Amino acid sequence: MRVLFPYIKKYRWDVIWSVLAILIVAFATLWQPHLLQVIMNAIMKNDKQTVWINGLYLIGLAIIGIIGGIVNTIYAARVALGVATDLRADEYAKIQSLAYADVEKFSPSNLVVRMTNDINQVQQIIMGFFQQVTRIPILFVGAVILAIMTLPELWWVIAVMMILVFGVSFFSFSHMGKYFGRMQQLIERVNTLARENLMGMRVVKSFVQGANQIKTFAESSDEMRDVSVK
């Protein structure tokens, strides 16, 4: 994120609107159970007026949440696409400025992966960050506060749940890094095999190596699938 921050800063207003929209969505999500509780109590007391009033509040809150989600998606997409476009342009300019000695260090498939798959991964990460990562802590903190206010005697249960959630999250994220790096290597490998076979199709057919090439490509594809589902 330190590398991406200068690019994201260029779209600061889109970031602000995206965060404000996700705050609205989080508030709407957290307040709906309270309104449902009020409606259920009113139904048990046969208080139709309270049911209708809070029912309308609930519908309005749902509409506000939907609008907030749409606004958040729009501005998050603008940030993600803008950063990806700027990164791709800077990377292409950097490749064009490389010396001959530096060019020899990178294979064409490597550079293609960097400009396509890697940039797309960055775009998806930014999109997910402004849609989910910013939303989850707000919902989590808000839900904990409301739960403690509603059932203060069960605070210890909430504390145990928080520890479990943080533990599982830390375990999951700590194992993602090695698989991500391996996945990038496999994508580069598959791209290299595809490029070599397409460019050397006549040679492959001349030496009757089609079956061997298919087997090699299938093995790389299967390995990439196995890493993807881990």
Asked if residue 44 and residue 105 are part of one domain, the reply reads yes
The CATH number assigned to the domain holding 20 equals 1.20.1560.10
pLDDT band at 73 (very low <50, low <70, confident <90, very high): very high
Region 173-181: mean pLDDT is 68
Query: Torsions phi, psi of 229, nearest 5?
Result: -90, 0
Asked if residue 163 and residue 97 are part of one domain, the reply reads no
User: Final residue of a domain: which of 150, 176, 198?
Assistant: 150
Residue 226 clears pLDDT 80, i.e. is over it: no
Q: How many domains does the chain have?
A: 2
User: Final residue of a domain: which of 113, 128, 150?
Assistant: 150
Tell me whether residue 26 is exposed, middle or buried, using C-beta atoms within 10 angstroms of its C-beta: 0 to 12, 13 to 18, 19 or more. buried
User: Final residue of a domain: which of 120, 150, 180?
Assistant: 150
Asked if residue 196 and residue 106 are part of one domain, the reply reads no
Asked if residue 101 and residue 201 are part of one domain, the reply reads no
Asked if residue 227 and residue 142 are part of one domain, the reply reads no
Asked if residue 105 and residue 21 are part of one domain, the reply reads yes
pLDDT band at 71 (very low <50, low <70, confident <90, very high): very high
Asked if residue 81 and residue 104 are part of one domain, the reply reads yes
Sequence-separated (6 or more) residues with CB below 8 Å from residue 65: 24, 25, 28, 29, 32
Host domain of residue 178: 154-230
Asked if residue 165 and residue 132 are part of one domain, the reply reads no
CB 86 within 8 A of CB 6: no
pLDDT band at 230 (very low <50, low <70, confident <90, very high): low
Asked if residue 125 and residue 50 are part of one domain, the reply reads yes
Token reading at 159: 């504390």
- What is the predicted pLDDT for the residue at 208? 64
Distance from CA of residue 68 to its chain's centroid? 18
Identify the H or E element spanning 185: helix 155-199
Asked if residue 171 and residue 119 are part of one domain, the reply reads no
Query: Considering the entire predicted model, what is its pTM?
Result: 0.70
Question: How high is the mean pLDDT of the chain?
Answer: 80
Asked if residue 93 and residue 43 are part of one domain, the reply reads yes
- Cα–Cα separations (whole angstroms), residue 204 to 7, 57, 210, 221: 45, 69, 6, 19
- What is the predicted pLDDT for the residue at 193? 73
Region 62-83: mean pLDDT is 92
Asked if residue 108 and residue 203 are part of one domain, the reply reads no
